[in-house]
Amino acid sequence: MASRDSDYGAFMEKFVLQPSSSAHQLPLSGLTFAIKDIFDVDGHVTGFGNPDWARTHSAATSTAPAVLAVLSGGATSIGKTIMDEMAYSINGENKHYGTPTNPWAPDRVPGGSSSGSAVAVGAKLVDFSLGTDTGGSVRVPASYCGIFGFRPSHGAVSTAGVIPMAQSFDTVGWFAWDPKILNRVGRVLLQLPDDASLVRPSQVIFAEDCLQLSSIPSDRITQGQIVENVILGDYVKDKVPSLQHFIGEGNREQEYSIPSLAALSSARGLLLRYEFKNNHGDWVTTVKPDLGPGISEHVWEAVRTSAENIDDYGILVIPTVPGPPPKLQMDPSALEVFHAQAFSLLSIAVVSGFCQVSIPLGLHDNLPVAISLLAKHGSDGFLLNLVETLHDTLKEELQE
């Protein structure tokens, strides 16, 4: 590893990867970048922040598509960066390889788990860097290191060739010290057209209860004609009643906690631990790796987690539409409320990425009615099989 004086302790391994073809006039030509040591690079061991992991794994035989994309865009990599062990922390500390130095606050943690990637950008050692964000591993270090960090929509950037933590939440993110570079990198990774037109948001919604948890004076960031203030915790509580199961008595009245959002975090954490165990539990129990404080407790908690409260194939049951089909040639104004209610139901699958099937339930007042089943993203085969299995039962019940 290069000396801390020269690179703020950000780099795990230095090497040069150049574009495979001429970089002239490519969108990222002339830019340098660093790669979090969670991405595969052909010929290099992907260390995952832990020497025992590196010792027990062979060198990669291919390069992650996200890395190839920015190389094809004309950028040049100068190496891999340090990360928190097994990506299981947002602090940025690593007892084995050292903690990258926060360039803006050397006496503070840089944030993790993409710590070295954030520091490399914050210290302007590179123009941008690649990281991953499962629970905050790009957003947190970006905030701590005073740079831009972007977590894309889930599934928008390929995570192939990236060691998984919890696939339901894993994303490839990136850092930059200049928003123009952030945008250029994003357009390459997301395969977006080069469109520089600006769009003014029609509405900006501020969560008052969340802002109260911040040390930033809310009056500095909540002004404007298109601003709407909401109590996000109440909204989530009202809109996601299933979270009641995760709301513990201990956090209902705590000033620093918004119970419904804490419950949302608890549900996320439960699924994260479950998926982490499925991904890495066998390796952890077999190798028993040397893990730093904090990391060790989190990892073993995940390995020992049970499937309680985890329903990989759970379904959501909702009306497909709010009522029977409207009459022909109805006045559009008479349908406004109906359409508003319908789109409220239809938007659930659209926004969440869930799969959905509408199932006929026969007639009511001689008009067809239906129910819908929704399952999580990627559960299409399960849902199709379920419908086939339920079909005979539904027919029997409808005939009674």
Catalytic positions, written as ranges: 36, 113, 137
Q: CA 72 to CA 66: how far, in whole Å? A: 10
Burial 18-29 (b: 16+ CB within 10 A, else e): ebeeebeebbbe
Q: CA 85 to CA 93: how far, in whole Å? A: 9
Max Cα separation, the chain? 79
> Token pair for residue 273?
């631990």
Q: CA 186 to CA 320: how far, in whole Å? A: 36
Which residues 6+ apart lie within 8 Å of 196 measured at CB? none
Q: Among residues 64, 77, 79, which one has the least CA distance to residue 9?
A: 79
Q: CA 231 to CA 211: how far, in whole Å? A: 10
Burial 378-399 (b: 16+ CB within 10 A, else e): ebeeebeebeeeeeeeeeeeee
Residue whose token pair is 């077999």: 286
Q: Among residues 102, 83, 107, 104, which one has the least CA distance to residue 94?
A: 83
Residue 35: how many other CB atoms lie within 10 Å: 32
Q: Among residues 182, 83, 80, which one has the least CA distance to residue 128?
A: 182
Cis peptide before 113 (omega within 30 of 0): yes
Q: CA 82 to CA 101: how far, in whole Å? A: 11
